[in-house]
Amino acid sequence: MNKKLFAHRYLLFTTLSATLIASPVWAAKPQTTPNQEPNNNQSVNTNFATLYASGNSVFWSIHPSVHYDSISLTLSSGDETWETSSTTEPEVTNLTDGHYNYELVVTPALGASVRAELKAARLEAHGQDSHDKVKALKNQGKIPQHRQVQSGAFMIVNGQLASPDAIEE
């Protein structure tokens, strides 16, 4: 690596480190765009949460327009993967230094009448989901057209959150 590039990376790293140390909570922008194409016809990748950090702990603040029963978090680093589901905003503490990938999946909040309709449809279909009924509920706007999914990545460096674009390995 040439000296100029090394000096630029060192300056960028020390500036980023000083910024992170000076501010106790730091927000990272998710690596998705609101109008990004769906991953498949069953889900859509949107920005519905903002990643925040305090030291080596991270948490996601869910946008108030998202009404959910639970949020599932899949977090991976290297060969390890952790999965959890919660009725509150996801949080992970005591992360070690490293690169992390995450995926958040929303389980939407459904009204009692919609739950009853889905339950009745399952009974009619002998325990299976009735695709016609689900499609009708989606068309009526009673359940979301697509799963809400958000994915991204972040790094913990020296016990602090760092943008994956700021520091190259």
pLDDT at 164 (0 to 100): 52
pLDDT of residue 7: 39
Q: Indicate the pTM of the whole model.
A: 0.66
Q: What is the mean pLDDT of each run of 10 residues along the chain (169 residues)?
A: 41 34 38 38 68 91 91 95 95 93 93 88 77 85 87 91 61
Domains of the chain (ranges; CATH) run 3-108+145-162 (2.60.40)
Q: What is the pLDDT of residue 151?
A: 93
d(CA 121, CA 119): 5
* CA 147 – CA 95 distance, rounded (Å): 28
Tell me what pLDDT residue 22 has: 33
Please report the pLDDT score of residue 62 as a whole number: 93
Query: What is the reported pLDDT for 163?
Result: 61
Q: Residue 127 has what pLDDT?
A: 66
pLDDT in the model for residue 88: 94
Residue 147: per-residue pLDDT: 85
Give the pLDDT of residue 135: 85
Give the torsion sign (CA, 80, 90, 149, 83): positive
Distance CA 58, CA 28 (A): 10
pLDDT for 166: 57
Neighbour tally for 5: CB within 10 Å: 10
pLDDT at 35: 36
pLDDT reported for residue 40? 39
pLDDT of res. 118 = 85
